[in-house]
Structure 1
Amino acid sequence: MQRKECAFLAIRKKTNKLQEKLLQTSSNEPVGRRLFNAEETAQYLEIKASTIYKKSLREISFVKIGHALQFDVKALKCYIEQNTIGAINWKETTRVY
């Protein structure tokens, strides 16, 4: 009988700790999502969803969950940084002959 009570108390403590963690994360503040589906990714990058599927084969890394493609927000930010082209300073590039 004592073993059952000890096991029950241990489970109860773990359950209480998990409930406390859930309460801490379930505040009114929106929780940021880490994975987007193809349509959300297209909206994020402001391109068509069909382009997402084409680029996911070569350029954009993704996670495959079942048959669905999921795109990591951090990877999308890296993709944007890598494909950003800076402005050219024309005064430095023009030559006087």
Structure 2
Amino acid sequence: MDFQATDTGDTTEVRLMGRLEFTDHDRLRDIVGLVERSDMARFVIDLSALEFIDSAGLGMLLILQEETETRNVRMIVQGAAGDVKRSIDLARLGEIITIAS
């Protein structure tokens, strides 16, 4: 998995690309580091370029949700399509994480 981060005012957007799998757990630390910005109000995860997500990847989204919650930052996941959207729907993450269509 690769990612690109863009900061615009009080929002950080992270675009995930490729496959989000168990082997990407170390990259999660880099993304969590972006959450630590003190003036952030929104953290947007863009999954439009993500081709695959496994159960560990779904867990990483939950970890990011927990990190943003503890800092009073609103996390929004957007752009999920195909198999990625199906995986998120099957895991019922929409009950825990804000999923924008």
TM range (shorter): under 0.3
User: TM-score when scaled to structure 2?
Assistant: 0.23
Bigger Rg, which one: 1
More helix by share: 1
